[in-house]
Structure 1
Amino acid sequence: MKIPLPYQDKDDQWLLQNYLNSGDNEWLGHLLQRYTTILFGVCMKYLKDEVEAKDAVQQIFLKVINEVKKYKVDYFKSWLYMIAKNYCLMQLRASKKTTYPITDQFTADDELANKNNIIQKEQSLQLLEKALQQLNEEQQVCVTLFYLQKKSYQQIIEATNYSAMQVKSNIQNGKRNLKIIMQRLGNHE
């Protein structure tokens, strides 16, 4: 299905604002339609399964409908990408099962140490995820693209349309703020 001609020349912010003002899901539908293929590609990248990726796209659409009114979204495409990536990572994390090799040397102490290690890593990942959510959108996008997806400054500039100085600043400030937030969250848990 193609976006009706009157909306093809409208930018994401215009469609999003119409949705927020009217509450009519049709506006959001036009906006999401633009990114269906990209979302499917992102989901395939992480989930590596066509059926799971298609299901994920549908779940992400529902998540967007429920979440978009809660946040000030300046760059819809970047925000949508973050939602999709986080959803896929949560799916992967939920589907992983820990297996232990069976050997003669494998003792209960080793198993306990392994479990504690896994629990500690999981807690750190959850803390990082919470902290990332608390960064402003620009910092969140740049930090995720640079550190988690290993994108270069140039690739981030192209993906976000930020200037080189904005990307550098968002990465530096985001890293510093992330550390502060994680320390604060770590002290409260």
Structure 2
Amino acid sequence: MQKALETDEELLLLFKQNNNQQALATLYLRYSELVYGTCLKYLKDAEAAKDAVMNIYTELLQKLPAQEVHHFKSWLYVVVKNHCLMQLRRSKTATIVEFQPTFMQSADLLHLDDLLDKEAHFKMLEQCMEKLSDEQRMAIQLFYFENKCYNEIAAQTAMEWNKIRSLIQNGRRNLKICMEQHG
């Protein structure tokens, strides 16, 4: 005849060592009224509380093997409380909101805004380029728009390398000032 397991610790150990679900069921039944009462207190609905009692047992099957539990009753109470709070949180966040396109910007419109901003920026750049001296405009054009290096520009224009560098630096500074003045 097998000795009756009395303590929570013995039942818990039997479950953990042998995956004995009967031991866990016996232990859980000891506290089923506590579990149900706690669920009812938080969920305020008898059917939801009954469902939670069943779900918590399933949760215990998964959680207990990895947990170090010294006082089953207090640990169980925390599990039950957290389960109920998660249920309440899920029910609050599960509200359905009707989609209203007038409240949201379309990605297509944002892309169009970007294109319009770039186009306006480019037009302003063209206007500022017209305000540069001929030499600065030509040096900027060759360097930035045609991707030529200082040596290539010097060879093409028969200007000295230092003069090209000076034209590009001064042209950039003048472009920046012009662009800042025009927004």
Query: TM-score, normalised to structure 2's length?
Result: 0.49
Query: TM-score, normalised to structure 1's length?
Result: 0.47
The structure with the largest alpha-carbon Rg is 2
